[in-house]
Amino acid sequence: MSVDRGDALFWEGDEAEHYYQVISGAIRFCKIMPDGRRQVASFYLPGDLIGIEAADKYRFSAEAVIDSVVVRFPKSRVEAAAAEDPKVGQALLTIALDRLTAAQNQMLLLGRMNATERVASFLLALASRVQLRDTMPRIVDITMSRTDIADYLGLTIETVSRAFAKLKKDRVIDLPHPQQAIVLDLARLEQLSEGAA
């Protein structure tokens, strides 16, 4: 399946009938409050499975950040496979537990970090999630918009922009293009993400 930028795989409240796996692109997993406030719980990148936490209905919406390709599995078929082969269930469990740990770390970010620390953590996470080639890439491609980043980090687009500007001014990163960052001082970035002022 192809999904265009901005299109939804499913909406919060839909009957949860499918799992999705990202092949290419990026999907945001988010929830919107009645007055429009939005929180992105996570970004799903190629290889990631979407929808595993849904029991009866989806509790979050899944929308394409950029044009993407996903495969869709009927939920019932995955469940049948899991019942038949314990390894499938085990694999799902591993994914769920990893994701739980990530969610708990994100709570620390949202609950206790300031704007600069949040953006630093975000950049590090992006850098480490991209192809794990030889070493941590110095060039980080930022596929999502400032709006998506802000809603992921619990900030506004202005604050995200200012945090990028501050990191650039402090020579921690360079920002040749809004969608691309170059890590100049990895150690400093790590310090920031750990909360060292």
180 sits near DNA (criterion: CB under 7 A): no
38 sits near DNA (criterion: CB under 7 A): no
Residues constituting the chain: 197
Sketch the per residue contact string, 89 through 118, with DNA: x for CB under 7 A, - otherwise.
-------------------------xxx--
Using the rule CB under 7 A, give the single segment among 57-65, 88-96, 153-161, 185-193 that binds DNA. Answer: 153-161
Sketch the per residue contact string, 61 through 90, with a second copy: x for CB under 8 A, - otherwise.
---------------------xx--x--xx
Look at residues 9, 8, 5 and name the one whose alpha carbon lies nearest to residue 72.
9
Q: Among a second copy, DNA, none, what does residue 23 contact (CB within 5–8 Å per kind)?
A: none
**63 phi and psi angles, rounded to 5 deg:** -130, 150
Distance of closest approach, residue 55 Cβ to DNA, in angstroms: 31
154 sits near DNA (criterion: CB under 7 A): yes
Distance CA 110, CA 103 (A): 10
Distance CA 164, CA 170 (A): 10
Sheet order of strands, 139-141 included: 139-141, 180-183, 173-177
179 near 161, Cβ under 8 Å? no
Number of residues that bind DNA (CB under 7 A): 20
144 near 185, Cβ under 8 Å? no
Mapped onto helix, strand or coil, the DSSP state of residue 133 is: coil
179 sits near a second copy (criterion: CB under 8 A): no
In this complex, which beta carbon is closest to DNA, that of residue 91 or of residue 107?
A: 107
Q: Which residues contact 84 (CB under 8 A, 6 or more apart)?
A: none
Contact residues toward a second copy (CB under 8 A) are 29, 31, 33-35, 37-39, 41-42, 52-53, 55, 59-60, 82-83, 86, 89-90, 92-93, 96-101, 103-108, 110-112, 151, 153-154, 194-197
